[in-house]
Structure formats: structure tokens, C-alpha cells
Structure 1
Amino acid sequence: NAGCYKSCTFLWQVTYSFLFSWLCHSVSAQLHYSIPEEMRKDSVIANIAKDLGLDIKELSLRKIQIVSYVSEKYFSVNTENGNLYVKDRIDRETLCARTASCLLKFDAVVENPLNVFAITVQIQDINDNAPIFFHKTVDLEILEFTLPGTHFILQNAEDPDIGINSVQTYKLSDNQHFTLSEKTSIDGSKSPELVLEKPLDRETQSTHELILTAVDGGNPTKSGTALVKIIITDANDNFPIFSQEVYKVSVSENSPINTTFLTVSTTDQDEGSNAQITYSLRKTSENLLSSFMFNINSTSGEIKTNQKLDFEVVQNYEMSIQAKDGGGLVAHSKVLIEVIDENDNPPEISITSLTSPIPEDSAPGTLIALIIIRDQDSGENGEVDSLITEKLPFQLILSSNKYYKIVTKNIMDREKAAYYNITIKVSDRGSPPLSTTQSIRLDILDVNDNAPTFSKRTYTAYVPENNLPGASLYTIQASDLDIGENAKITYSIFSTNTEDFSVSSYLSINIETGVLYSQRSFDYEQHKDFQIQVTAKDNGSPTLSSNTTLIIHIMDQNDNIPRILYPAPEVSDSVSFEMIPFSAEEGSLITKVVAVDADSGLNAWLSYHFIQVAEPSYLSISQRTGEIRTSRGFQQKDVLKHKSVVLVKDSGVPSMSATVTLSFILADNFQKAVPKNTNHPHSEDSPPNLQMYLVIALVLISFLFIISVLMVIIAKYKQSKSLQTMGSLSTNLYSPVDPRIHSQFNNGTLSLPYSYNVCVALDSSESEFSFLKPNQNFPIDELIDANDSGTGHENLTETLASNGLVKVSANYKWVKIESQSYISSSVF
């Protein structure tokens, strides 16, 4: 039966398609399938994975897909099993009209690696359409004296199917006057013609109605009918005749509307109204579009464009033209119109796949994107040239007929370009050429290929001493051209100084910000600078680092009081003395105050000032050197004793100072200087008579003291024997004075060093003095009072003996005066 025949035919076609596709695949990696139209939805066509030799297990990973403008609507591929399915109803007549071969082409694209396979599916026609006449009733006027054998052209039946399934034969209902014949034109089409077999008699029968049947060759056959209504008329026995049976003309698709591209003409041997020709377009289902796109002048036969032509929509038009004379006789002709392609479509670019971002260290040849380039024009108008407009580290490679790959050409550097706008320009070869551009943004993924960098190889910071612990001292920062974790920097420090101390006990650094903090207060006098190495390390994998050197200079502050070296502090505490001879001239150097300051710079720049001096003042002091000089000459009436306080201060802000008290004795020799330094507080202000009385009293006291000494010597005779063997004082008991000090103070004062042993009466009223011979090597930097300890003369004797002095009586007090640069103590 018909159903079985159809199924068998389908099986044979599918089997043939499999064999054909296998053969094509083995030869050219292209598949060809053949299926009938109107297959049910989700019907399996074939397993393209097996036909292409692909591993079914890898289909989902390789992302197999169908790429096509048209075929995606009708076919789908299962990524699990590789079967190709019918996605929607396929009507061959809708897709291909009456084209002999109806092919649907698409590409199967798989990735990893990228492959493109061309697949063609041929749609086989089935007899799913019956023949149909556009006009259900055909009116035909025939002269009554038309001779037998005359042919009358009837309208064709239309069948969208092709081949055996299209119209094969025509049949005419039984009648006495007419038979049916078929006329084959140059293009192979068949048209039914009505043939008059017997003469007509309008008076006997003015109309005839016949049934015209069109039958196709399908299985089962299908048919369609039309009513032919014949009207018998009088006298017009000559038909119009076209100059050409088929007109062929070419029209550019860019032709303006109302462009005349063809004029048809006919001849008619009749006269009068029977020779007046009227042109018209025969409207059928096949040329409905043509009748819409074109029109014909009914009188002149000029054919003009009625709409804008588009080669990419329709390439060919077919029109049937009718010429009818005034007597009702008609003639027909065909016009075949070919649309000439113009370069009116720019190329089209579509992106199938894109990989973004990519690491900056991607190897050359890494796939970036797969693009498809199409041009709807044909010939050279559809041939394209593609390029990347700018000089970038990428190249465009033709993969297949219309597929292009964008791959990397060189190693990239994200620090120079964080992203790229890849502009692709496609131009066709038409005249003039048309072009299309499209940009692809490609982001570059950072890798840790840049170490942190410091702006300087060595940094210098200045920090005042006595700073607060925990205060921020300096900020040092490095930069990293990378981003994200690769640019996250941590800081650390370690000392490069040669001193043996831990830098962490003095300094610390914030590992994130690079801010340097003090751990304790700095002391300029201990550490004048620190030299540390700062390491900046990023957080990439693997980590990168760099170093720089930071030198911290400690700035001095005025935190040290000037220290007076001369006169020595232990001497100045008890009061030091300087002797000034009466003969000293103005400007003579008397002594010099020497002081130092542990600070530096202005903080150690010392100045010397008198802050307490007797009036009138005979002395002046140099603010810079500390030298004390006479400001004028002296007279016998001048006060013999002066007491002054010297202030030594630095130049810091605020300044710090120290003081020393000096006493000056005005005398030509030491013997004259002693009376002036009695313990009477008002001796300087006493009148001359009082001074004379005091001298007399002192002489008497001295005399008594001498007698007492003699008595003590007699009483201690045995002890005196041991003392007789001691001899004079050793010159090696005391260290010599530094000659540098001697050289500075040998003008206007006593020659140095000198030691004096003075014997004074214990009674203050006595005024006799006994001076021993000066000992050149006896230091005079301390004053020893043998009686100050509160001991008796026995202890005194031992004390004097231990200091290298001779034993004296208990009524006398021995005094040892020692100085390294001058006579530093007054004798009472």
C-alpha cells in the first residue's frame, strides 16, 4: 500500500544518506545526509559524532554546536549522544520553492581542539501538495468560425512539488468539440492547450463548460480541477503575436523605482478594434511577487520596477505577460528577469567564542577568539579581506572558509597594557569596497612578574634626640607594578650598622604601611645615626622582594649642661684663687675658664660671662674663649681681693649654663697676698690703722706660735729623730701638670706648677708667717687642713707625715696647697 511504499522509500533514503555521509567523511571530513521533508519533530537523522569520528564521551566537553543562519531553526544536536535531530517542521516548498535540489548547509563546531565540519542535508520532496489552478474558472472567447485544429492556451496548474510529484498530465471532460493537448516550451514547462476539433455554431450553442483536471505523478496521485467556460463570439480570427516567446533581461538591484528595463511588443493582422492590443501581467501563485515588484504599461508594453530590488532576497523573477486584442484574442509570453548583484551589503562579523581574561604570560599561539565573517553579496562583492587594524601582539588566522582565529603573537605585559581593544576590520572586494569593524575587549590577567621597587636606593631621615617612644619617624614605601595580591607589600627591617645592638630595640616598622616607629628615646651622645635595610616583599607566588637603605641621623638637642674643666669642679666648690701682680698691664691674661659641652653644633657653642663681679671691675672676660684679662692698670690703693662668678652657657634653645666662682688676689708676691686674705669679713673695708693693728697682732701670735713649736719639738725629741731622716719633700709625690695647660696660662699669673707649704699660727690673732721653699713638683689642686678633721696634734703629726711633711708642734697648722695651673687656695 501507499504507506508501506512511503516508509520503504524513506528507509532507503536514510540508508543511502548514511553510506554517502560515511564516504564523504572519509574523503573530505564533510557529511552529506538526505531526508524527506515533513519528518516528525525530534526524529533522528544520524549520529554525526560517529560519522565524524568523535569520541561520544568527550562531546559535552568539546561543546559541539551547530552554526548557521537558517539550519539552526530546523536541526539540533544532542551533546550527550551526538544524534542529529529534526527540530522543527521542514517544508521543502517553503525553503526551496521549485529548485531541483534543496540543500540545508550548516557547520558543526567542536572545541578543545577547535574543529569545524561542513554538513549538508538534502531535503527530498514528497507528494504533499495537490495541483491547483490559480483561477477556478477560465473564461475563453472563441469566434464562431474558428477553424478546427485551432489551439487555445489554457492556464497551467501549479504544484509546489517537484519531479514526479509535480503535475504530469491534464485531462479534459468529455465533449464533442474540444480535445486537450500539451505544449512544451523552451524552458521545459508544459501548458495545456484546448484544440478545436469541430466547427462551432454560436447560434446552436453560445457557451461550453468543460472541466480541466491536472494530475501529478505521486503515489498516491493527487489532482486539481478548473472550470473552462467557453464563450462563442464573432469575427476576430487573428491572434496577437509577441516578438519573442521568452524575454530574458538583467536588472541591477540598485535600480531606482520606475526604471524601465524592458518593452514588449506584439503584432496582430486584424484591423480596427481587433488589432488594438492591451498588455497585462498574468497573475498566478508563482508570479504574485513579480506582479508586486513590477508593472507593465497596458498600451506601450513598457515594464518598470515597482519596488526596490534586493539580490540577497530574490535573484530571479519570472513573469507571464498577456496581450489581448480588441476582439478578445490573447497571446502569452514569459519574461525572465535576472537581478544583478551590487556591492550593497557590508561584511558581517560574529563572535563564536571568546576567552577573556588571559594570563599575561600566555604562550604565543594561545587562542583568544573564534569569529565568523560573512558577506551576503556574491562574486567579488562577497569575497572579504580581514585584518587587525592596530599593531597588537595578536594575529588573525583563517581557519576555514569563513572562520577566523585570533591568537596571541607575542608575550604580553599587563603592566604596559592592562587590556586590549582588538579591532577587526573586514573589507570586501567590491567596487567601491564596503567594510565593517568590530572591537573585542581582551583583559590581561596579572601574574607576579614585578618585584616591589623603591624610588631611591638610599633614604635619609633626620630625627631629634629625646623623642617620645612610639612616635612615627619616617614613612618609606615601595611600589609594585602588579595588582591585587601580587602588589600587596609587607615591610621588614634589619640593621646594617657595625655596632653590636639590636635594631628592634630602637626601631619598628608597620609591615603594611611602611611607617617607621621609635621603640625608645634616642640619645645623640650614644648613637649619632642608624643605618638599616628595609625589605619590601609582595604577596605573589612566588614572592618577590627588593631592598633599600635608610640612614637615620639623630639630631642633637640641647640636653647637656656645659661642664667646666678648669678650674676643676672640686676646686671651685671651695673657692679658687688667682693672684694678679700690681705690675700687670691692661689686657694681661690672668687665667682662662675652660668648659666643654657634650652636645654639638650651636648647642655646644659656649659663651663666658661675669654674672657677679665686684665694683669697680678690674677684669674682663672673652665671651668666646673664656680668657680673663685685666681691663686697666692697678694702683696701691685698689682693693686687694676680688670675688667673681663666671657663667658658662651654650647657644641652644633654651640655653643651659654652669657657673664657677673665682677669687682674685692683687699682690706682687705671695707673702703680700696672705694678709689680704684674713678671715675677717670686713678686712677690705677696714681703715689703714686697723690693718696695722692686725699685722702687729699677727706678729705677736706668730711669735707665740714659734715658742709653742719649740716646746713641742723638745717634748717630742724622740719622735723628731725619726723625722730628721726624712729629708725634704719628695718631688715625685705628685704628678706633674699637663704642659698644655701651662702654655695657656703662663701670662699674667704664677709660673706653673708651684707647690707651697705654709706654716700659720693656730691663733688668728697671730700674724707671723713661715714659708717653706717652694716644691716645683708638689701639686696644689687640693687644700688639706690637718686640723679640720677635729683630731689632736698626735693625729696631726701622723697626717703630716703621711703627706710627706715634717712634724711641727701642736700649736701650728700645716697646710698643703696644690694646683696644676695656679695657686688655687687662700691661706687663713
Structure 2
Amino acid sequence: MLTMDYTKPNTYKGIRWQVIFPLLFSWLWHSVSGQIHYSIVEEMRKDSVIANIAKDLGLDIKQLSSRKLRIVSRDSEKYFYVNLDNGNLYVKDRIDRETLCRAAATCFLAFDVVVENPFNIFKVKIDIQDINDNPPVFYPDTFTIETIELTSPGTRFALQNAEDLDIGVNSVQTYKLSDNSHFSLNQKIRSDGFKSPELVLEKSLDQESQNIHQLILTALDGGNPVRSGTAVIQIIVIDANDNFPIFSQEVYKVSVNEDIPVNTTIVSVNATDKDAGTNGLITYSFTKTSGNVHPSGLFSIQTKSGEIKTSKRLDFEETMNYELSVQAKDGGGLVSHCKVLVEVIDENDNTPEISITSLSSPIPEDSAPGTMIVFIEVHDKDSGENGEVDCNILEETPFSLILSSENYYRIVTTSNLDRETVSSYNITVIARDRGSPPLSSRRIIRLEISDVNDNPPVFMKSSYVAYVAENNLPGASIYRVEASDPDYGENAKIIFSIYSKELPVSSYFSVNMENGVLYAQRSFDYEQHKEFIVQVNARDNGSPSLSSNSTLIIRIVDRNDNEPKILYPENGESAVFEIVPIVSEPGSLITKVVAVDADVGHNAWLSYNFIEMSEPSYFTITEHTGEIRTSRSFQDKDLLKHKIVVMVKDNGDPSLSSTVTITLVIADNFQQVAPKISNQTNEDHQTNLQLYLVIALAIISFLFIITVMLVFVSKCKQPKPAPYLGPISTNLYPTVDPRILSMYSDGNLTLPYSYNVCVALDSCENDFTYVNSKQEVPVENLIDADDSGLGNENERDTSSNTAIQCWARSIPVLLYNPGSLMIVYLLQLY
């Protein structure tokens, strides 16, 4: 064995020494077996250099990256790392010895250094040396001692020890007591080698002169610089009780299995007191301590009997040793202390863990036998035989498991592979420990075999059907086609495309070439396009490329986007009137609302309902046919005119609707109700008539000026005798139903109704005459009927009425027929 020593000073000087010498090597062993031993101090700064591990291992620094040098450990890799550029081992994170090892005499971190090409493993062990970074601490920091005033000088009072997380010379070394006239301090060396402070009474106490004494107890460690901790000792002077409880043992030791049942008694402590009565009654309790000395809730103690029981399950892997501090207090307030050391014995309660350190997958099918594909680590948290593990491959495969070192295995190929026979392997590795009974675990390793491009993409179906709701958003995804390729890598990468011989597919659809998602390029209308047929091509990225095709049928689904259209009665600008015979029986058909909907299915199912009608109700409507019928017989006192609003609603979601307003007039014949209707029409259009008059005057003025200018220009250029137009025919426009004439007797005839025009030279004559081909009804008769029907009690001036009526009827006609006005003006000019 080759030994290499690195010397260090025997002492150090606190923080200054840590700054000047951040790295401390006590010794280094480097043997042919590949083991290295370093020694460092705790709390080293991050990125501090420990050593050049590559040099110590005899490795070429230039080959560290190619040989994949790395640290393999469950616990140590978070504290150290290796720089592959220079081979130095660095501190990765703060190392606290007390956290890692608590009060153990030795503390070390171990890890494995793995290199490849060729493969080798080196074990590295790093001792963590303690520094004085923790001061002594008293738990609790205030002690109360009760003693009688008759206590004789020389009496000793046991005090609580100070706890120091450091070890060795850095732990508690001595105690000091503040100056006083009654007490002194004695340091007793216990059987375990630690110093225990005792308070010695030097002078008799007098309860009447002073019943409470307060002293300061200081604990000093041996570090440099020295750290200290203090506690307050409060001495209460009472009468009588002059004997302390005495434990049968100062230190109790017990060993228990980690699988011990909860609430099992592990040890009983016993203390006696020579006093009698209440002063001799002893109660037991735990005292508060630091660290893992007394984990809260793990143990409990019976206050009267001193039995210590487990309160929770113990775990050897978490903590192997527990230190319990027990206090015995008599009825007079005197206390004594002892320690209970509990050692946990390991049980085989942890299964081995299999970790994959390196995996080469996929591997070519032409890989030579002996090729390493997997490098695994096996670890068991148990100790001894319970932590020794054996590994094997469970099934028959062309692979074998080779032990590389204590906890590492390699899986290598043993024969040639053929992907056309087997494309992948599931290698089951089973790890079994040597405990009693043994525990085992298994890990399935998936290994893929690479191949050449010998399979074209395959669609799941030969044809697909996609449904797209109309009025979709342009650019929205509507379907996804999927194809698979049993090849691997680029050979299995599929590129999608679409085409069609019947339509410019790019104007309607696009496809994501990577995932096969089809997008709509425009919004579709079911009423225009109901179905599209496109071809989808899937081509892999191999060399040479292979492809396949599938048919995609895209069907447009109807949405409720068309409101019902009412065909009858026409819902124009004019009100719709229907005459209801006054002698109609209940249930008589009056009229029928007819509507259609451009949608299909439920969206085209129509229902008819009243949404506005006079009260009381005289009519009903059939919901599904739109038939309007009488609901009761009519009487003379009933209203003659009823306005109803019919709503036609489809069955879509949300539903759309249209409305039509119908005026139902109860009468025996049309002439009976014409004046009523005419009056109502006049009232309805009274507001609009003023606006129409203003617009008409403006248009007439404008057309007159234009006409004069055109005639003047025409005469100046080419004077011609005016052509003979002849008398104005009364048949310029087709005739209309006289009922319509009576409805619009105020002259507000809306397009597209036509009428005849007669021009009169006398202003007292009617300028416009309405003629029916079947029956002529003079306008004067309609006016007379209007006057009588309305029941106007005021007498009217006949000549004034005639002029006003002529002017009122002329303006709307001129407004709606500018052509007639042009003819009149041309005739007058010529």
C-alpha cells in the first residue's frame, strides 16, 4: 500500500484559521484497490478545493470528459462535485458535522468515482472534522432548587449539564459559578467521562434573612476562541426536606428492536428518598434536552412508576440511538437526574432499491455481443446481512447481468439482436437481500431496438368522417387524422398533406403537417355546402420515403342561424287587415300564418303564438299550424277592431323568431268598416305625413330646377317642335283592389302598389283617380263614407275639404312617383 501524508497544525485559531487554511488534509491513503481517504473540516466555504482527485487517482485530466468521470452517491453528491476541466474536487454545499453525525465520535461522507473506457470505480472516504461552531446551551436555562434552611454545609446539589453539539475539545470542558457567599461549584466526573456540575453549600442558609438566592452558572468549551453558555440557578430556601432522590443507576442502557410495538415498556428507572411523608414521594418526568436526545412524542414516562414506554414506531434508518434525560423530584422539591441510553436494533424492514445510472436505448440491432446497455446501482437501507443484496435477471433474454463492484451491475448483450423478430425487450431485474425473511424488489427496464425504414405510415381507418358546425371561425381546428409508423426516429416521423381533384382544397382547408390537425380556412354555410371529400396523404421522413392515403369526408352540420320567414301574410310596412264575419261561430278559421325556415331538423320546427293581443281574447292560434280561429261568438257591444301580434319561433338553441301584426276587423262586409280603417290609418300616419310633405317639397323643387335647366339647354342646342303626346291615358299603371284604396285613402300608398294618374286643369277637380278593373268606386264616395262612418258631428266646408283632399292626395303620389311629376312638368312647358 502506498501512503501519502498531509500534515496540519495541531491547533487553529478560530475564524482567522478558517480563512487562512480553508482546506485541511490530515492524511491521504491511495492504494491499488482504488480507495482514497481525505480529511476536511466542517463549514468550509462553497467551491473550496479539497484536492485534485484526478491526480490522486492517476487519471489523465484531458480524458476526464471522454471517460465520463462522475460522482455516484445517494448522500454525498449534494456536498461535492468534480471539475472535469482541472480534476479538482470541490465543496458543493455547506457541510454541518452536527447535522450529519450529531454527537458521533467519527463522521465521514463516502462516495464512488466512476469512469468509463475502461470502466473502473474508486471509493472515496472524506472525514469531517469538528470545529467549535456551537456554544454550550443549558436546557432549561433556569434551574430552581428548593432546600431547607437546616441543610448542613457540604451538601451537594446536582445541576443540569450543558449540551454542546460539538465533540472532543470543542465540547463542554468546565463550569464556573458567579461569586456568592453561600455556594461553590464542584465538577464531578461521571462514569461516561463527562463532567457534571454540582452546587456545594459552603455556608448555612437562613430562610428568614434570605429565602431566594440567584446564581449564574457558566459552561465553557475548549475551543479557540472559547464559547460559553449560561443558566440561572434559583435557590428557594424552605424548611424540612433534607434528602435528595437517589437513582439506582446514573446511566440506564437498553437495546430495542425497531419493530417493537407501540406502548411497550423498554425500561423502568428507580429512585429512592430517605425522607418520609410527602417529602419522600417521587415523581418522574423527562427534562428538555437538545438535538435527538429526546425526540418529542417517541417516548413517554409514567410519573409514579418510572416506566418508559414507546409512543410511536422506531426507525433504525432514521436514528440508531436515543438519549433520554429523566428527572426524579420528591415532595419537598428536591430533584435528581439520570440518563437513559436507548439503542435501536436494525430489522430487515427495507426492500432493496434499484437505480439506473446509465441506459443506452435504443441500440442498433447489429450491436456486437458484449455491448453494455445498462449500468445499475442496488442499495438497501438496512445494515449487516439485511443490507447485502443479490441481483438477477428474471426472464430468458439475450442479456446477462455482470457484477462490477459491491453495489453496481452491468447488463450486456450475449447474442445478436433482430428487430424484425423482437422490436423491444422488457428486462426485469430482481434484487433480493439476505435478511430473514428476505425482502426483494424488481425493476423493469425497457430497451428499444432501432430499425431501418421498411414500413409505410398506416392510417387507423381507410376513411374518416368529420362533422363541422356551420358558421365556424376561420382558422379553427375541425378534425385530426392519425397515422402510425412502426419504424423509429426519422423513419417514423409522419408528414401530412391534403388534396382533392374536385375543389381547390387550399381555399377551404389546411392541415398541420406534423400532427394531422385539419383547420377550416373559411366559415361554412350549411345552406351552400353540405359535404366535402378530401384525400389525406401521410408520408414518413425515411430514405426513401414511404406514404399512404386515406379519404376524409367533412360534413357540415346545420346551426340555427336563420330566423323564420313569414310568407303569409306579408309583413310589409302597411298593416295587414283581415275581416271576421260577425256571425262567425266559435272555432271558425279566420286566417293562417304561413312561415318557413331555411334551417333543417329541430332548427326548422316552427311554433306559432300570440305575443300581443287585445283583452279580452276573442281568437286562438294553433301552435304547430298557425291557424287563427275564433274562440267565442261576437256580440254588438264587442270591439270591431282587434290588433294581434303573432310570433313564429323555431326550435333551435337559442331559438330565433319573427313577428307579424294582423288587424282583425269584425264586420259583415268591407264597406262597413272601411271608414274605421281609413280613420285609423290616418291617425297612424299623422306623424309621418308632416315629414313626407317636407321631403316632397324639397324633391319637387330640386326636380323642377333640373327640368328647367334640361329643357333650356335642349332648346338652345336644337330647337324642335314639341312632340304631340296626346291625352294622358288613365291606364299608365295597372289597376288595384278598391279595398286597398279605401285602406290608404289618405294617399300614403307604399310601393310596390300601382295606380292610375289623371291630370286636371281645374284645381277643384281631383288630380288622381283610382280605377278598379272589376268595380269602380269613386273617390268621392269613399270620402263620403269616411265622413259618415266616423260619426263626425261637425259640419265641413265642401269646397275647403275638396281642395285639401286634392293637395293631400297629390303630395304622396308625387313623392313616390317622381316620373309622373316629370311628365306633368314637361307637358306644361311644351
**TM-score normalised by length of structure 2:** 0.52
Q: Residue 119 of structure 1 corresponds to which residue in structure 2?
A: 124
Residue 432 of structure 1 aligns to a residue whose secondary structure is coil
The one-letter code of the counterpart of 1:254 is D
Alpha-carbon shift at residue 349 of structure 1 (Å):
0.6
Alpha-carbon shift at residue 407 of structure 1 (Å):
1.4
Q: Does 1:400 align with 2:420?
A: no
Alpha-carbon shift at residue 206 of structure 1 (Å):
1.4
Cα RMSD (Å) of the superposition? 2.9
Q: Residue 321 of structure 2 corresponds to which residue in structure 1?
A: 316
Q: Residue 425 of structure 1 corresponds to which residue in structure 2?
A: 430
**Partner of residue 376 from structure 1, selected from 378, 381, 390:** 381
**Partner of residue 258 from structure 1, selected from 251, 254, 263:** 263
Alpha-carbon shift at residue 426 of structure 1 (Å):
0.5
Q: Is the 8 A contact 2:24 2:41 kept in 1?
A: no
Q: Residue 246 of structure 1 corresponds to which residue in structure 2?
A: 251
Once residues 10 and 341 of structure 1 are traced to their aligned partners in structure 2, the CA distance between those partners, rounded to angstroms, is: 42
Once residues 249 and 413 of structure 1 are traced to their aligned partners in structure 2, the CA distance between those partners, rounded to angstroms, is: 62
Q: Residue 335 of structure 1 corresponds to which residue in structure 2?
A: 340
Q: Does 1:203 align with 2:208?
A: yes
Q: Is the 8 A contact 1:414 1:445 kept in 2?
A: yes
- Relative to structure 1, the CA distance from residue 380 to residue 117 in structure 2 (aligned partners, 3 Å threshold; closer, same or farther) is same
Q: Does 1:98 align with 2:103?
A: yes
Alpha-carbon shift at residue 162 of structure 1 (Å):
1.3
Alpha-carbon shift at residue 357 of structure 1 (Å):
2.1
Once residues 382 and 486 of structure 1 are traced to their aligned partners in structure 2, the CA distance between those partners, rounded to angstroms, is: 46
5 Å-filtered alignment, 1:357-368, equals 357-368=362-373
Once residues 115 and 51 of structure 1 are traced to their aligned partners in structure 2, the CA distance between those partners, rounded to angstroms, is: 15
Q: Residue 295 of structure 1 corresponds to which residue in structure 2?
A: 300
Once residues 162 and 315 of structure 1 are traced to their aligned partners in structure 2, the CA distance between those partners, rounded to angstroms, is: 18
Unaligned runs of 5+ in 2: 1-8, 455-485, 493-541, 545-830
5 Å-filtered alignment, 1:728-747, equals none
Q: Does 1:212 align with 2:248?
A: no
**Partner of residue 274 from structure 2, selected from 269, 274, 285:** 269
Q: Residue 229 of structure 1 corresponds to which residue in structure 2?
A: 234
- Relative to structure 1, the CA distance from residue 272 to residue 245 in structure 2 (aligned partners, 3 Å threshold; closer, same or farther) is same
Alpha-carbon shift at residue 112 of structure 1 (Å):
2.3
Q: Residue 419 of structure 2 corresponds to which residue in structure 1?
A: 414
Q: Is the 8 A contact 1:359 1:447 kept in 2?
A: no
**Partner of residue 190 from structure 2, selected from 157, 165, 185:** 185
Q: Does 1:391 align with 2:396?
A: yes
Query: How big is each residue's C-alpha offset from its partner over 1:238-259, in whole Å with a ceiling of 9 and x where there is no partner?
Result: 2222222221112221223222
The one-letter code of the counterpart of 1:345 is N
Once residues 204 and 115 of structure 1 are traced to their aligned partners in structure 2, the CA distance between those partners, rounded to angstroms, is: 80
Q: Residue 305 of structure 1 corresponds to which residue in structure 2?
A: 310
Once residues 45 and 434 of structure 1 are traced to their aligned partners in structure 2, the CA distance between those partners, rounded to angstroms, is: 39
Unaligned runs of 5+ in 1: 450-480, 488-538, 542-828
Alpha-carbon shift at residue 14 of structure 1 (Å):
4.4
Residue 60 of structure 1 aligns to a residue whose secondary structure is coil
Q: Does 1:108 align with 2:113?
A: yes
Alpha-carbon shift at residue 287 of structure 1 (Å):
5.1
Q: Is the 8 A contact 2:24 2:39 kept in 1?
A: no
Alpha-carbon shift at residue 11 of structure 1 (Å):
7.1
Q: Does 1:445 align with 2:461?
A: no
Q: Residue 51 of structure 1 corresponds to which residue in structure 2?
A: 56
Once residues 482 and 156 of structure 1 are traced to their aligned partners in structure 2, the CA distance between those partners, rounded to angstroms, is: 73
Once residues 113 and 448 of structure 1 are traced to their aligned partners in structure 2, the CA distance between those partners, rounded to angstroms, is: 34
Q: Is the 8 A contact 2:294 2:324 kept in 1?
A: no
Q: Residue 639 of structure 1 corresponds to which residue in structure 2?
A: none
Residue 64 of structure 2 aligns to a residue whose secondary structure is helix
Q: Does 1:167 align with 2:149?
A: no
Q: Is the 8 A contact 1:361 1:447 kept in 2?
A: no
Once residues 355 and 76 of structure 2 are traced to their aligned partners in structure 1, the CA distance between those partners, rounded to angstroms, is: 17
Q: Residue 453 of structure 1 corresponds to which residue in structure 2?
A: none
Alpha-carbon shift at residue 429 of structure 1 (Å):
1.6
5 Å-filtered alignment, 1:501-520, equals none
Percent of aligned positions with the same letter in both sequences?
65
Q: Is the 8 A contact 1:246 1:334 kept in 2?
A: yes
Alpha-carbon shift at residue 415 of structure 1 (Å):
3.4
Alpha-carbon shift at residue 50 of structure 1 (Å):
1.0
**Partner of residue 82 from structure 1, selected from 87, 111, 121:** 87
5 Å-filtered alignment, 1:563-602, equals none
Which range moves more in the overlay, 340-349 or 129-138? 129-138
Which range moves more in the overlay, 261-270 or 48-57? 261-270
Alpha-carbon shift at residue 47 of structure 1 (Å):
1.3
- Relative to structure 1, the CA distance from residue 4 to residue 188 in structure 2 (aligned partners, 3 Å threshold; closer, same or farther) is closer
- Relative to structure 1, the CA distance from residue 15 to residue 145 in structure 2 (aligned partners, 3 Å threshold; closer, same or farther) is closer
Query: How big is each residue's C-alpha offset from its partner over 1:694-733, in whole Å with a ceiling of 9 and x where there is no partner?
Result: xxxxxxxxxxxxxxxxxxxxxxxxxxxxxxxxxxxxxxxx
Once residues 261 and 130 of structure 1 are traced to their aligned partners in structure 2, the CA distance between those partners, rounded to angstroms, is: 33
Q: Does 1:325 align with 2:330?
A: yes
Q: Residue 660 of structure 2 corresponds to which residue in structure 1?
A: none
Alpha-carbon shift at residue 430 of structure 1 (Å):
1.7
Q: Is the 8 A contact 1:143 1:237 kept in 2?
A: yes
Q: Residue 818 of structure 1 corresponds to which residue in structure 2?
A: none
- Relative to structure 1, the CA distance from residue 253 to residue 482 in structure 2 (aligned partners, 3 Å threshold; closer, same or farther) is closer
Q: Residue 70 of structure 2 corresponds to which residue in structure 1?
A: 65
Q: Is the 8 A contact 2:326 2:337 kept in 1?
A: yes
Alpha-carbon shift at residue 198 of structure 1 (Å):
2.1
Once residues 166 and 132 of structure 1 are traced to their aligned partners in structure 2, the CA distance between those partners, rounded to angstroms, is: 11
- Relative to structure 1, the CA distance from residue 405 to residue 7 in structure 2 (aligned partners, 3 Å threshold; closer, same or farther) is farther
Alpha-carbon shift at residue 320 of structure 1 (Å):
1.0
Greater Cα radius of gyration, structure 1 or 2 = 1
Residue 66 of structure 2 aligns to a residue whose secondary structure is helix
Alpha-carbon shift at residue 203 of structure 1 (Å):
2.0
Alpha-carbon shift at residue 540 of structure 1 (Å):
12
Once residues 349 and 115 of structure 1 are traced to their aligned partners in structure 2, the CA distance between those partners, rounded to angstroms, is: 20
Alpha-carbon shift at residue 398 of structure 1 (Å):
1.4
The one-letter code of the counterpart of 1:387 is N
